[in-house]
Chains A and B, each alone.
Chain A
Amino acid sequence: MSLIHGTQGKVYLNSTEIRDVVEWELREESELHRYTSSATGPVPATLCGKRQLRGTCHLALSTDFDPGALFPGSSVTLELYLDANRVFEIPARVTEVSFLKSKRTGDPDLLQFHFVNDGPWTRPTWN
């Protein structure tokens, strides 16, 4: 499992950009199938099971953004930037949406949503 995070990104809903991401994090992980057999003896061997990605994004709430379009089950495309040249492109499903209050004003000022990948994603290259 690897945790990657950043502060730049975009959320697309039906190919339309709905908001910039102000903070994001994501994890790539794999289910593992451990087993023993006549070949391994008591020390288990390990097979890779489902490979998946999940993460969280924060969007800034303001009067020009209607958060009603984003709900659990929404299908979105995420572009999450590590820097100007390195980007994760992720088709995803929203699993949970919550609104975070500003500690300063007490008003909701951030929308947080969790997501999981919906199909293969593209990793940035480091070359």
Chain B
Amino acid sequence: MAVAFEELEGSPRLEIGEEGILARRWFRVSWQDWPQLARQLLGFYRVVGGQWVFEPPEPFPGFPNLLVERLVVEPFEPAVPDQQTLSSPRQGTNRYSQSGARVTAEYRTQFDADNRPRNKLPKVPEGTYLTYEIDHGLEALVTPARLWHWDAPPQNPKLAPDEVPAVFIPHTVVRLRWHRVASPPWEAIRALRGCVNAAEFLGSPPESLMFLGAKVKRQFHFFQTGGFWNVEYRFRETARSLSDGTPVGWNHLFKEEPVGGEHWVRVLDSQSRPPYKPADFSALFHFAPA
């Protein structure tokens, strides 16, 4: 049931900056109702029949992607606490049944509607959303000197044996953050570490994206139950490619003697298995069972 509240004078206040909108609203609510208002503003999960049911957060009116990221609760009129005898700090706190609570809600732009600026993101359960970030990196592939010669006609001399030329291959580190998650898929995270994408994923060609693991932390857990998780998945995408530009992945290794004119050749073990297992990453974006 919705909580009765008043929006106080001076509310709302909006700041528009590079990272979107930061908005503040001030509410007055009865002292006993502030936890319920907080849950209403932040959204919450509950389990019904063994299934997660999401009560979505109440966004800023007119801006569905502007969600509460912080709440401050304080007495509306601090000078008039209820008179009571507290025998120990754990017994209770001051209460303000006459004046109630002032709740300050800070909203921030959290995502782009429908992920339009970065399409090809996986589908996630309603109420959760993804944010996408990339960074760069470089891997050095040390090759034997005998592979190379100097481009110096007419002799084109070979490199000296003690020279160790390295080939630098750029890669991309992808951070995909999954916000307001009811229950992270712990088993899938464990099982898929070190796997590569079996099919195109996040726009990356098959086998070019390796799942490194996840960083998981709690979000908004102000009650003993409920609250969310923030799951940051990390992937590394290699930029290995054939001479015609066709991208290849982590299971292609550099072969000294080219095959069909290509040094990057896919490898398999005696049981026809590549070093990095191709897998479907969609299991990373389903909640663990309630």
Interface residues of A (CB under 8 A from B): 31, 33, 35-40, 47-50
In the bound assembly, the distance between CA atoms of A47 and B9 in angstroms comes to 15
Q: Within the complex, which residue of A37, A47, A49 is in contact with B8, where a contact is CB–CB below 8 Å?
A: A37
Q: A33-B99, A47-B99 are in contact. Are A38 and B80 (CB under 8 A)?
A: no
Q: Within the complex, which residue of B7, B76, B77, B98 is in contact with A38, where a contact is CB–CB below 8 Å?
A: B7
Q: A47-B98, A47-B99 are in contact. Are A37 and B28 (CB under 8 A)?
A: yes
Chain B residue at minimum C-beta to C-beta distance from A51: B80
Indicate whether B112 reaches chain A with its CB closer than 8 angstroms. no
Interface residues of B (CB under 8 A from A): 6-9, 28, 76-77, 79-80, 98-99
Shortest C-beta distance, B83 to chain A (Å), equals 9
Quick check: A37 and B79 within 8 Å, CB to CB? no
Quick check: A50 and B80 within 8 Å, CB to CB? yes
Instruction: List 17 interface pairs A-B (beta carbons < 8 Å), by A numbering.
Output: A33-B77, A33-B99, A35-B9, A36-B9, A37-B7, A37-B28, A38-B6, A38-B8, A39-B6, A40-B6, A47-B98, A47-B99, A48-B80, A49-B77, A49-B79, A50-B79, A50-B80
Quick check: A37 and B80 within 8 Å, CB to CB? no
Chain A residue at minimum C-beta to C-beta distance from B102: A35
Q: A48-B80, A50-B80 are in contact. Are A37 and B98 (CB under 8 A)?
A: no
Quick check: B7 and A31 within 8 Å, CB to CB? no
Quick check: B6 and A37 within 8 Å, CB to CB? yes
